[in-house]
Amino acid sequence: MKLEDLRIIISGGAQGMGRHFALSLASAGAQVAIGDVNEAGLTETVEAAAGKRGKVHARKLDVADEADVGAFVEWAHGQMGGLNALINNAGILRDGLLVKKDRETGAVKTLTKAQWDAVIGVNLTGATLLARDTVAKMVSTNQRPGVVVNISSIARHGNRGQSNYTAAKAALAANTTTWAKEFAPFGIRVAAVAPGMIETPMTQGMNQKARDALVAAIPVGRIGLPEDIWVAVRFCLECDYFNGRTIDVDGGLSM
């Protein structure tokens, strides 16, 4: 699909990779609807898009809220005069070992259900709801072709301290293949990009020691940038023969 023809939803568009995707698409002439719980960040993204060929529309969105997702999709369709693409980008971290023992006290601590539920709710359930409702809108309006790009992670292969995040991102990569098969009769492709360590507000909030260790392990010798991921996302959007697969963009990092 041509970027200038896109009428695309991006979740998590208030900052980081989501903002970068939105501004890149607007520069190419696309109509973009961004959603996020960070309303101030949404406003900043819209302001940054002023004067570009395309336009960025923004509205608060909690992807873990089913009713909010449905309302957002309807709003986005109306604002853009159509809907033919989605980037499932929203995500959060609530890291912790599933079970750990305090070295000093010997006390056993576990990952809380709240930590598990929060990550699964946003990173997996939210992404699934948004894909479901976006594709349903495309089908009901006879829109074809269409494309969905899921943002997974190389953590899907397994990463210490991220049982919840790993489970969500692994499921999203697996469902990229599932949904590609299910949506094929409607002319809708599904692809995924799995970033490694990328410079975003999320990774900037990591424990510094853990962050430094990860960056040191990247064979290309640097942390990734949102533009590195955009190159892969753009390929997924534009290449009509790419479907049901996940691209790792990680600088060669193995977790």
| 222 contacts 182 by C-beta, under 8 angstroms | no
Judge whether 165 counts as a catalytic residue: yes
Quick check: helix, strand or coil at residue 153? coil
First to last CA, the chain: 33
> Once rounded to an integer, what is the mean pLDDT over residues 178-182?
98
- pLDDT for the residue 204: 80
> Once rounded to an integer, what is the mean pLDDT over residues 236-247?
98
pLDDT value at 153 more than 80: yes
Report pLDDT digits (tens) over 78-125. 999 999 999 999 999 999 999 999 999 999 999 999 999 999 999 999
Number of Cβ within 10 Å of residue 171's Cβ equals: 19
Quick check: helix, strand or coil at residue 106? coil
Residue with tokens 């948004």: 130
Q: Strand 31-36 to strand 99-101: parallel, antiparallel, or no bridges (unpaired)?
A: unpaired
pTM for this entry = 0.94
Report pLDDT digits (tens) over 184-207. 999 999 999 999 999 988 778 777
What separation in angstroms does the CA of 122 have from each of 22, 25, 91, 237? Answer: 20, 24, 6, 23
Report pLDDT digits (tens) over 56-76. 999 999 999 999 999 999 999
CA atoms within 13 A on the CB side of 187: 11
- pLDDT for the residue 244: 98
> Once rounded to an integer, what is the mean pLDDT over residues 202-224?
85
Among 75, 88, 52, 219, which Cα is nearest to 137's? 75
| 77 contacts 83 by C-beta, under 8 angstroms | yes
Q: Could you give the CA distance from residue 68 to residue 65 in angstroms, rounded to a whole number?
A: 5
Q: Could you give the CA distance from residue 8 to residue 31 in angstroms, rounded to a whole number?
A: 6
- Catalytic residue, candidates 21, 116, 165, 179: 165
> Once rounded to an integer, what is the mean pLDDT over residues 131-139?
98
pLDDT value at 39 more than 90: yes
Edge to edge, the sheet with strand 246-249 lists 55-60, 31-36, 7-11, 85-88, 146-151, 188-195, 246-249
How is residue 128 written in tokens?
Answer: 């699934």
DSSP 139-161: HHTT--SEEEEEE--GGGG--TT
* Domain 3-247 class, CATH top level: alpha beta
Q: Could you give the CA distance from residue 243 to residue 7 in angstroms, rounded to a whole number?
A: 19
| 247 contacts 236 by C-beta, under 8 angstroms | yes
